[in-house]
Amino acid sequence: MSGATPAAAPPPASPGLLAARLALRVEELHAAGLGRNALPLDGLPAPTSRSAAGQSPSPALVRMEGRPLLHFAGNDYLGLAADEDWRATVAACFARHAPSGTASRLAAGHTALTAEAETAWADYFGYAECLFLPSGYQANLALLWGLLGHGDAVFLDRRVHASMAHALPPTGARLHTHRHADMDDLSRRLAAWRHNSDNDSGGHDGPPACGTACAPQPVVLAESLYSMDGTLPDMARLGAVTREHGAFVIVDEAHAFGTLGAGGRGRAHGVADVAVGTLGKALGLFGAFLLLPRGTRNALENLASPLIHSTALPEAHAACCLALLDLLPRLDDRRHHLAALGAALRTGLRAEGVPAREGAHVVCVDVGDEDRCTRLAARLRTPADGGPGVLALAARHPTVPRGAATLRLGLTALHRVDDVARCVDLLARAWKEEEEKRGDAPGDQA
């Protein structure tokens, strides 16, 4: 009947116990000093040109609730995300090409331009094949879910990225964790596994009677720059150990590609069978890529559900990637500037009694206590002298092990020497204030 009054919609179900449980979990995290809240920036660094690099204010300046802050919390290592020429290039690519993939890779989302870009990236970095994906997290999920199976032996550094660690349990692989960046410990564990596998033919659940094609091969997972402590592992030693034991090596180079190695090609070439990279850090874009041995890309297209069931990156993204390959070899001045800034920051902090770790463009300070680390980061944002503060990351569990909180400072080619000096000054003052608050002598460290 046209005049009938429609029935009232039922009220939404009460979240009840679920909401209460979530609130309790978050409350417990905050009580333990592990709570998190997204800090609202008023915007990322404004577009800059190379000619404006020496002008004031700093190109690395951002604002939070109106307060000026020097940005030491990001991963825009080469400053490309704020580069006006690169922004114009990206805008032109998206003006000329489709801004959406519109379909999964295997349905209709793979284009000739994407294939051209993937081939060009594989050639530039020195691998046989390349595969673009929407994010670094998804890239590691797709890679490990596609390559690994039940019973495979996987050896991983205890501080590999969460995307690798979270990808492993569903594979059914047997996990062997070694001490952080300790190649001797890795070698011992590989040798012990080989000894046990030689004496236990049932250790790997491969197909029966499949011959040498199913012989167990250990898989080693590592990073070339660990972004939450700045560690640069000995890649030559990693290569020697893994060759000795016949391992298949996967290296996440997310924080090294673009910044380290000749032309920004990273640290693992000649060591890694597979390298994982992202475009949202030094490369000023978005998305991720896998650099692969021949035949692996099609295997992942058939076996990796995070790839199969996701919309492909747009054709405009592939155009940007081709433009990046023209730019990357010409950024040595930025790479050299970035390296000099890292050395100056570590030297300056150590001279003030702040225990900065070794590293490159990621400079980390071991704090230990989670609450203390959070306070240090807050002090940096709110200096008493009225000048610009410093935005730094207080890295806490589960990003780092519990009780191993770290203050992380990410450098960018946008930074100037004066910015580094300001960071050293503010952190040295905050560090000493915390030492005095605890009643420790200035030279004692947590």
The rounded distance, in Å, linking the Cα atoms of 389 and 60 is 12
Average pLDDT over residues 289-304: 98
Question: Which percentage of the chain shows pLDDT scores above 90?
Answer: 78
Task: Give the range among 175-184, 208-217, 355-364 with minimum mean pLDDT.
Answer: 208-217
pLDDT > 60? residue 430: yes
Please report, for the chain, the start and end positions of each structural domain, with discontinuous segments joined by +.
Answer: 57-78+331-438, 85-329
Residue 43: what pLDDT? 74
- Say which range, 19-33, 81-95, 254-268, 407-421, has the weakest mean pLDDT: 19-33
What are the pLDDT digits (tens) for 367-405?
999 999 999 999 999 999 989 999 999 999 998 999 999
Give strand pairing partners of 252. Answer: 223, 276
Residue 443 pLDDT > 50: no
- What is the arithmetic mean of pLDDT over 258-264? 98
Mean pLDDT value of segment 334-343: 98
Per-residue pLDDT reduced to its tens digit, 11-37? 666 668 888 899 999 999 988 888 888
Please tell us whether the domain made up of 57-78+331-438 is placed in CATH 3.30.1300.10: no
Q: How confident is the model at residue 440 (pLDDT cuts 50, 70, 90)?
A: low
Would the pLDDT of 129 be above 80?
yes
- 109 alpha-carbon distance from chain centroid: 26
Task: Read off the pLDDT of each residue in 91-119 and give the average, rounded to a whole number.
Answer: 97
Whether 445 shows a pLDDT value over 50: the answer reads no
How would residue 315 be classed by pLDDT, with cut points 50, 70 and 90? very high
- Distance, CA of 221 to CA of 251 (rounded, Å): 6
Which class in CATH covers the domain with range 85-329? alpha beta
pLDDT at position 3 over 70: no
- Tell me the pLDDT tens digit for each residue of 317-338: 999 999 999 999 999 999 999 9
